[in-house]
Structure 1
Amino acid sequence: METEKSFIPHNNQACKVSVMAIKDALYVLSGKWKLPLIMVLSEGPQRFNEIQRTLGDITPKILSKELRELEMNEFVIRQVYPTTPVTVTYELTPYSRSLDKVMDELRNWGLQHRQRIMK
């Protein structure tokens, strides 16, 4: 229980600031696909179809929307190469590395949770 108490702010203003920070993070990273998409792109630049195959059951429309939103929030770079046909790749920005600790913790927690519920 001690670790839970460390997350409780000591006053109302600190609580409001913490809630706003969490809301901001969730606004940028919310949804079923953003974090898995970032995980896929952590392997390096990939083409649209490669990303879709790796993620599995994501539709092209949703993948396109998620990539645009991640690009708008400076997590993804879209590179267009003047080839025939045109080649487009997506890769993470240096800014996306600010999520490394979060991604590691979520992955570890997810593995622990899966083991717990599989018992």
Structure 2
Amino acid sequence: MEQEFDLVKDCSQKILAISDTMEILNGKWKMSIIACLCYKPMRYSELLKEIKGISGKMLSRELKDLEINELIDRHVLNTSPVAVEYQITDYGKSLQQLTNTIADWGFIHRKRIISGMKRKMDNKL
């Protein structure tokens, strides 16, 4: 009986931890931003170009959220005109394995879905 309680408690704690994580990484863009910055520091315009489909307003909002959560740092460069560069923090780097795992799963899933669609199309012919 106690062991069942521990399993439920462990499950509840895991769900709470997942909820906390999803709250910080919510939305469609944050993981893409983190993944880009794991490779190298990037300027705002570079991120805007690299992350297809994100608007400038959304990128600004997401960058602010990531900075508040200490996952990235914002550096104002001493250039003319002034440029801003973003880089992943050491704490943010702890998400690199997660971004790699998500990307790996995404590759497998895309391949599976595309091959399934091809099989369906072949069966119709």
| The one of 51, 59, 65 aligned to 2:61 | 65
Q: Which amino acid aligns with 1:25?
A: T
Structure 1 equivalent of residue 118 of structure 2: none
How does 1:48-63 map onto structure 2 within 5 Å?
A: 48-63=44-59
SS of the aligned residue for 1:42 comes to helix
Structure 2 CA distance, aligned partners of 1:117 and 1:70? 32
Q: Which amino acid aligns with 2:13?
A: V
Q: Which runs of 5+ in 1 are unaligned?
A: 1-8
Q: CA RMSD in A?
A: 1.4
Per the normalisation by structure 1, the TM-score is 0.87
Q: Which amino acid aligns with 1:56?
A: K
Deviation at 1:108, TM superposition (A): 0.8
Identity of aligned residues (%): 37
Structure 2 CA distance, aligned partners of 1:69 and 1:96? 13
Q: Which runs of 5+ in 2 are unaligned?
A: 116-125
Deviation at 1:51, TM superposition (A): 0.4
Structure 1 equivalent of residue 17 of structure 2: 21
Q: Which amino acid aligns with 2:86?
A: Y
Structure 1 equivalent of residue 104 of structure 2: 108
Higher helix share: 2
Per the normalisation by structure 2, the TM-score is 0.83
Q: Which amino acid aligns with 1:49?
A: S
How does 1:69-108 map onto structure 2 within 5 Å?
A: 69-108=65-104
What is the number of residues matched between the two proteins?
A: 111
Deviation at 1:14, TM superposition (A): 1.5
Structure 2 equivalent of residue 42 of structure 1: 38
C-alpha spacing 1:85/1:73, structure 2 compared with 1 (3 Å)? same
Q: Which amino acid aligns with 2:110?
A: R
Contact 2:33 2:51 in 1 (8 A): yes
